[in-house]
Chains A and B, each alone.
Chain A
Amino acid sequence: MLLRHTPTEIKERSALTVNPAKTCQPIGAMYAALGIHGCLPHSHGSQGCYAYHRSALTRHYKEPVVAATSAFTEGASVFGGQANLVQAIDNIFTVYNPDVIAVHTTCLSETIGDDVPQIFAKAKADGKVPEGKYVLHASTPSYVGSHVTGFANMTKAMVDYFAESNGRRAKTVNLIPGYVEPSDMTEIRRIAELMGVPTIMFPDTAKVLNGPLTGKYRMFPEGGVTIEELKKSGSSVGTIAMGRTASMPAARALDAKCKVPCEILGLPLGLHGTDAFVDTLRRMAGVSVPAALNLERGQLVDSISDWHQYLYGKRVALVGDPDQVLALTRFLVALDMQPVHIITGTPAGKKYEKSLREAVAGVPADVNIKVPGDMLLFHQWIKNAPVDLIIGNTYAKYIAKDEDTPLIRYGFPIYDRLGHSYFATMGYRGALRLLEKLLDAILDRKDRDADDIDMELVM
């Protein structure tokens, strides 16, 4: 009874969040910024923020995560953080020498009203930004949105600061993968390569947060989108934004700034999600879907058919980030499973909630949805109406243990298992892996609970 303090009776809470299913904007901005090549994320706030973000990302990825801070003191909080940020820019380029500094604000610097573009202008005028080096910023106060919107804002800042149109259209397609894992970004790129489409992906944390052991510590690892690529994104033939919450603002900004038309899709997760991505990419780039990709799709459908009788009617509780939760819900419904308790911690809006309700419209069970909700409510729902399976981040393991229900770890953060950095859940291959995870969880439990006489060898 780790969560012995979770009451079964659900009371309306007016003023507080218990066991959050989200965290604050700056960490999402930091994660996005790590997807720029040679970039040092910078937290414009007090010293604790970036220490927490670095620790959280380090626990999730088991990789070194670097970032710098303006290290606000009481003085800076009274007189503004300009001096700190200008000094920081100078120090960072002198000591760490990144290609880019990506500044995100915090509740502190937002509330005292620091004007980051104006501070950048001052730093440039003072010669603190060397030739060929760049700065960008996103406004990410912690009291707005969540880590997902922080990611969205920093991704949009990449467009605002760098995208330019040279009047010609290149053959490239921009891919905005959303707040997904490095492994997912690699998989999305692989699908585009299979289709023969040249792409610019941003951000791209592959090889930044899942790099090899080399015997050397590299402050700026190999991966990440380059500034050159970001500049060229303004000349691409189109943009595919994956996940409305995390990717739409950047895609819309690119449309407005450089007239690059965009398609806003859900994440390419599950059969329908990947179909939508592949089809959109095919049309946008004017290519046909290669046999190799059709094979992957066929194998996925084949596997679903092979195992569907074990999935049918299984009740699932699902908590996570909005774009993932929506795509997963659709996939579960497609597998004839029943997502019955669905929560995202991010305030993703009415329109989002409507999409979620549409996705479960055909589910023959009572479905609870809360946007935004927290993990206390999630647990209470499960206590009141038990499920066969829980999908959520590492914190959900306490609920899973207390309710003796199988758990599939999915989302952020995952502090206690290997996998998310290396094995994608996007694309047909990713869907196959998700299917494997679902079946493992369900069938392991079936075997564990089977009487001796019911124990079956062949499934």
Chain B
Amino acid sequence: MHIPDGYISPQTAGGLWALMVPVWYAAGNKVKRTLQARQAPLVAIGAAFAFVIMMFNVPVPGGTSAHAVGGTLVAVVLGPWAAVISVSVALVIQALFFGDGGILAIGANCFNMAFALPVGGYYIYRLVAARSPLGGARRWLGAGIGAYAGVNISAFLTATEIGIQPGLFHTASGTALYSPYGLSQTIPAMMLVHLTAIGFIEFAVTALAVVYLQRGHQELLARGPAAGGGFRIKPFIIGLLLALIFVPLGTIASATAWGEWSPDQIRQRLGFVPNGMSRFAGLWQGIIPHYGAGGNFWSSAPGYLLSTVLGLAAALGLALLIVKLIRMAGRHE
């Protein structure tokens, strides 16, 4: 899921850097407050751990194997904000020293894998685990479900960032300057694989690792949630309501909004006029050009259904985050 340099435009990469800077700042402050001087070794070794487990091969049905990301596991143990920093540091080292993921794309990769993934995964874990005992089934189930959701949220964001490239950045003749595939191609390609396979690997590995910790290192599971204080259900009801508001918006956004603002932006950038607009009106039906009256799969009901489900997942994560931020702000007053 690491985006290398060259797939996304510097504009997109820069925008995501700009998004990540306040996140890092907030996470840094939060970690500083809760861990004080202990933060450096704990976060550093957490990052080293995050780096190393990304290299584990996990067998997949069918005889092959895949890598697990493990960000949710890190969040369950260290808490979401320390996880943001730990996974970010791991990604920075991967980009700088091992060429895994681009340097300009660090902002994008961190947004997807070091922010959305562990934070989304963690709050879903909290939602499921609630106040259940540390050794209980809801703990590993919650961590597994959180990991499944987290990796899918992350994959969806990655697919979106790559998928908006051809619409925004291409020459007058239609030559793509960065990744050539539109949203109608990147989202199904990424999501099919993550919803059906990689998500389950994350589920299995994270749940099994939590079961292992429950047997031998229960104190590690106590750290994250206990540090955050008691769990209240009310914020999550608000979260669900927010999600309900976000979902229709998300559906509209994926169906029309991209097609609406893309041509405008292009006209602005390249002096591109109507014949390009007509091309872009077909962005969501673009998987096969000259499509017949039947349209194609991804502009049809299943395609929209899929995007709605994904929109729901992403919006839920976002809403939970907002609720958390509101709660944090309230605690300071």
B partners with A: no
Which residues in A have some Cβ–Cβ distance to B below 8 Å? none
Which residues in B have some Cβ–Cβ distance to A below 8 Å? none
